[in-house]
Chain A
Amino acid sequence: MSSKKDKGLSVKDIDKRFADVQALASVSLDVQEGEFFTLLGPSGCGKTTLLRIVAGLEMPDTGRVILGGQDITSLPATKRQVNTVFQSYALFPHLNIFENVAFGLRARRFPQDEVKSRVNRRLEMLGLQDMPERLPHQLSGGQQQRVALARALVNEPEVLLLDEPMSALDARLRAQVQVELRRLQRKLGQTFILVTHDQAEALVVSDRLAVMRQGRIVQFGTPKEVYEQPKTPFVAEFLGAANLIQGRRLNEGVDTDIGFFHLNSPPAWARGSVAIRPERIRITADPPEKNGVKVHVREAIYRGTNLDLWCEPGPLRVRTAAQYNYEPGEEVWLELPPEGLVILDE
C-alpha cells in the first residue's frame, strides 16, 4: 500500500438497513488523497446514505470507514475531520455570513484573530468578501451555496463531502458552478466526494466516479472509462443515451435481429447485449464495408449543437453534426464500427 493511499478514505464492506429497505449492500471503495470522487446514481440508490456514513451522521450496520489509515467508524460526526456541504446548504438562519463560516472554528475555540483571518481568506476565495454581515436569507441561491462551501472548507477537512450541492441552482448557473468547483478542488488539492444523480455533472467534475444502483456500486472508473466502457445496460443508459442491441455470439462478432456485427474481441457470453453511443454511429450514403445496417429515418430532431435521428429497424438512435439534413422517411446506411460497440457483462 502506497503512502498516498494511506492518507485517503476507504470504505469497507458497508451494510446499512432502514426498516425493510437494504440501503447499502457490502459497499467498498477507496478514494485517494486529493481526488475528486463522485457517487453517481438515481435517487434511492444509497449514495446519500453512503455519504452520511462517511460524515458520521449515520452508523453502518457492518463495515468500516477508514480515513488517513485510522478507523473512524465509531467516531461521531463532531469528531471527524470531514465536513459536509448539505443539499439544502443548512446555513444557520440567525447567524450572518461571517458567523456561519466561522462556526466550525468557534466550536473548536480557535483564537479570535485566527478565526478572522481564516474566515476572511475563505470569503475572499469564494467572492463573498463584500457581504460578511448579511443573513443567509438575503443571499441568492448561488451565494448561499458558496457560503456553505466556505463554511465547510474553512475547517480544512481531510475530506469534503458534497451532497447534491447544485440541485437547487438553475441549469445555466449549475454548469458554471461545476467548472468553478472543479477548479477550486484542483487548486486546493483536497479530497472531494460529490453525490449526484446528474451524469453530466459527474462527468465534468470527477477524477473518478462510482455508479451506484440499489445499494451497490456497479462500476468504478474515470469519467471516460465509465462513459465509453459501461459494463451493464444500466450504466450504459444512465450515463447518456445508448443503443442496446441483443444477440448471440457468432465467431468474432455478434448476430442480432438487425444484422451481424464484427467486434474487436469476442464476447464472453453466448447470448447478451452490446451497446453503442448514438454519436459513435456513422451515417453513409453507400453500404459500408462491414457492420452496416440499412435503415429509414423515422424522426429527425434538431438540437442546435447536433441532429438526433431515430431510425428503424432498431430503433437506433444516431447523433450527427447539426449541419446535415435528414428528413423522416429517408433511407440511409448506418455503420456501427467495432471500436464503438461495447460488450456488456450481461
Chain B
Amino acid sequence: MLWLIVFLVLPGLVLIAVSFATRGAYGQLEWVFTVENYQRLSGFSLFGWTADYIMIVLRSVWVAFITTLISVVLSYPLSFFISARPERSRYFWLTLVIIPFWTNMVIRTYAWFLILAPELPLAKLATFFGFIPAGSPLYPNSFAVYLGMVSMYLPFVTLPLYASVERLDWTLVEAAQDLYASKVRVFMQAILPQTLPGLSVGIVLTFVPAMGMFVVPDLLGGSKYMLVGNLIQQQFGASRDWPFGAAISMGLMVLTMISLQFYRRRSKEIEFV
C-alpha cells in the first residue's frame, strides 16, 4: 500500500497539478492555474481547431492495437510449438524468447538499422518489388515501426500465453473434435477459453506500454512518424513545455483506462458466451 502511494498516487497527483500549471517564457513552471493545456490537446488554439493532436493519439491507439494483434497472432503458434517440445529443450526455446530482454531497448532498436540496411536481403527484396528506391534502407517507415514494436513486445504476450498453453486440458480439444467441431470451432471453444487468462495478461502488458512507446517510432519511424509517446517526450525534452506534456500524459492515461475497461467487458463476453 505504501509503495502504491509512493510510486503511483504521488507522481499521479504531481502530474495532475503540473498539467494545470502554466509554462513560463523560458520553459519554467509557473504555478498559475490554467486549462489551456487541455484545450490545446483537444485541438483548440489561437488559430482555431486542428485535429493534429487527436490524430496523433488515435494513431498511437491504432499502432498499439496492431502491435498487440500481430504479437498475439504470432504468439499462439510459438507457444504451442514450445509447449510441444520435450521438456529439456523447452527451456532452450523459452530462453531464446527471453534473451532480447537482456539487451537495452535502444540498442535492440538500432539493431534493426543493420538488419534493414540497403545491402541486406530484406531491403533488396523491397527494392525488387519497387517499395523503396534502390540503395535505400527499409526505414524509416511504418513497416519498420511495426517490426520494431512487435519484436519489442512479442515476449510479453508469448510468455504468459505459454504458461496457459502448457497447462491446457487437451481432453477438451478431443471432446470438441469428437463432437464434430471444425478447426476454427475447436480453437474458439476449446483452446481460446482455456488460454484467456494468459492472453489477457499478454494483451494488457503489450497494449499499455505500446501506447506510450517513443524509442521505436522515433528511430524507425523518422521525424514524420509522431506517436503520443514522442509527443510527450518532446514536451518534457526539446520543447520544455512540462504542463502540456503532463496534460498529454493525463490524456493518455485516461485513454488507456478506457481501453482496458472496454477490453475487460469484451473479454468477459467472450468468456461466458
A residues bordering B, Cβ < 8 Å? 55-57, 76-79, 82-84, 86, 88, 90-95, 103-104, 107-108, 151-152, 155
CB neighbours (8 Å) of B190 from chain A are 92
Given the contacts A92-B172, A94-B272, A107-B185, A84 and B193 also touching, CB distance less than 8 Å? no
In whole angstroms, how far apart are the Cα atoms of A331 and B107 in the complex? 93
CB neighbours (8 Å) of A95 from chain B are 189
* Nearest CB on B from A94, distance (A): 4
Given the contacts A78-B181, A78-B182, A92-B189, A103 and B176 also touching, CB distance less than 8 Å? yes
Given the contacts A86-B171, A107-B182, A107-B185, A92 and B193 also touching, CB distance less than 8 Å? yes
In whole angstroms, how far apart are the Cα atoms of A82 and B177 in the complex? 11
CB neighbours (8 Å) of B176 from chain A are 92, 103, 107
A108 touching B180 by the CB < 8 A rule? yes
CB neighbours (8 Å) of A84 from chain B are 174-175, 178
Q: Quick one: which of B166-222 are within 8 Å of A by CB? A: 169, 171-172, 174-182, 185, 189-190, 193
How many residue pairs at the A-B interface have CB separations less than 8 Å? 60
A103 touching B189 by the CB < 8 A rule? yes
Given the contacts A86-B174, A92-B189, A92-B190, A103 and B179 also touching, CB distance less than 8 Å? yes
B181 touching A107 by the CB < 8 A rule? yes
Question: Could you name 13 residue pairs across A and B whose Cβ atoms are closer than 8 Å?
Answer: A77-B174, A78-B178, A78-B182, A84-B175, A90-B171, A90-B172, A92-B176, A94-B193, A104-B180, A107-B180, A108-B180, A151-B179, A152-B178
* A58 to B, closest residue via Cβ: B174
In whole angstroms, how far apart are the Cα atoms of A134 and B247 in the complex? 48
* B177 to A, closest residue via Cβ: A77
Given the contacts A92-B193, A94-B193, A94-B272, A103 and B181 also touching, CB distance less than 8 Å? yes
B30 part of interface (Cβ distance < 8 Å): no
* A55 to B, closest residue via Cβ: B178
In whole angstroms, how far apart are the Cα atoms of A55 and B175 in the complex? 10
Given the contacts A92-B193, A94-B272, A107-B185, A155 and B179 also touching, CB distance less than 8 Å? yes
Given the contacts A90-B172, A92-B190, A57 and B178 also touching, CB distance less than 8 Å? yes
A83 touching B272 by the CB < 8 A rule? no
In whole angstroms, how far apart are the Cα atoms of A108 and B185 in the complex? 11
Q: Quick one: which of B225-273 are within 8 Å of A by CB? A: 271-272
* Nearest CB on A from B231, distance (A): 41
Given the contacts A92-B190, A94-B272, A107-B185, A78 and B175 also touching, CB distance less than 8 Å? no
Task: List 8 A-B pairs, minimum CB-CB distance, nearest first.
Answer: A104-B179, A90-B175, A107-B180, A90-B171, A77-B177, A94-B193, A107-B181, A103-B179
A86 touching B175 by the CB < 8 A rule? yes
Count, chain B residues at interface, CB 8 A: 18
* A87 to B, closest residue via Cβ: B171
Extra A-B contacts (10), CB below 8 Å, given A86-B171, A90-B175, A108-B180: A77-B174, A78-B180, A79-B180, A86-B175, A92-B175, A94-B193, A94-B272, A104-B180, A107-B176, A107-B185
CB neighbours (8 Å) of A108 from chain B are 180
* A154 to B, closest residue via Cβ: B179
* Nearest CB on B from A107, distance (A): 4
CB neighbours (8 Å) of B180 from chain A are 78-79, 104, 107-108, 155
B178 touching A83 by the CB < 8 A rule? yes
* Nearest CB on B from A164, distance (A): 13
A90 touching B174 by the CB < 8 A rule? yes
CB neighbours (8 Å) of B185 from chain A are 107
In whole angstroms, how far apart are the Cα atoms of A103 and B190 in the complex? 11
In whole angstroms, how far apart are the Cα atoms of A94 and B193 in the complex? 7
In whole angstroms, how far apart are the Cα atoms of A77 and B173 in the complex? 11
* Nearest CB on B from A137, distance (A): 13
A88 touching B171 by the CB < 8 A rule? yes
In whole angstroms, how far apart are the Cα atoms of A93 and B168 in the complex? 13
CB neighbours (8 Å) of B177 from chain A are 56-57, 76-78
In whole angstroms, how far apart are the Cα atoms of A156 and B272 in the complex? 27
CB neighbours (8 Å) of A83 from chain B are 178-179
CB neighbours (8 Å) of B182 from chain A are 78, 107
